Amino acid sequence: ETGVTQSPTHLIKTRGQQVTLRCSSQSGHNTVSWYQQALGQGPQFIFQYYREEENGRGNFPPRFSGLQFPNYSSELNVNALELDDSALYLCASSPKAADYGYTFGSGTRLTVV
């Protein structure tokens, strides 16, 4: 059974650019959530996808958007990058929505310069 995989592991972007982060959910999991973890802070919920639909959103601006594909993998897109977007982006999958049996991926570390 494969776990949650994220790509890339590290990324450096310039302010104003756009970025796409990818996540493959654990086998058998149909729900994917994305979290942002700034240095020294706990992860903050961005949004969740269930069966290709957004199933809830945290306090993040519209320039944070996502997709879920039929195979339950997911993308997080961030437009017009700001310096404060520098963080570890974590993807977590669960067997179904509102199931707290989350498995986290190892994250993508984004640096905006």
Question: To the nearest whole angstrom, how small is the minimum distance from the Cβ of residue 22 to other proteins?
Answer: 15
Binding mask of the shown chain, residues 15 to 54, with x at each position contacting other proteins by CB under 8 A: ----------------x-x-x----xxxxxx--x------
Min dist. Cβ of residue 82 to other proteins (A): 21
Smallest separation (angstroms) from other proteins to the CB of 7: 14
Residues 82-111 close enough to bind other proteins by CB under 8 A: 90, 92, 97-98, 100, 102, 104-107, 109
Contact 77, 92 (CB under 8 A): no
- Distance between terminal CA atoms of the chain? 37
DSSP 5-23: EEE-SEEEE-TT--EEEEE
Q: What is the rounded CA–CA span in Å between residue 69 and residue 25? A: 11
Contacts of 94 (CB under 8 A, 6+ apart): 29, 31, 33, 100, 101, 102, 103
| Binding residues for other proteins restricted to 58-87, rule: CB under 8 A | 58
Which residues would be at the binding site for other proteins (CB under 8 A)?
Answer: 31, 33, 35, 40-45, 48, 55-56, 58, 90, 92, 97-98, 100, 102, 104-107, 109
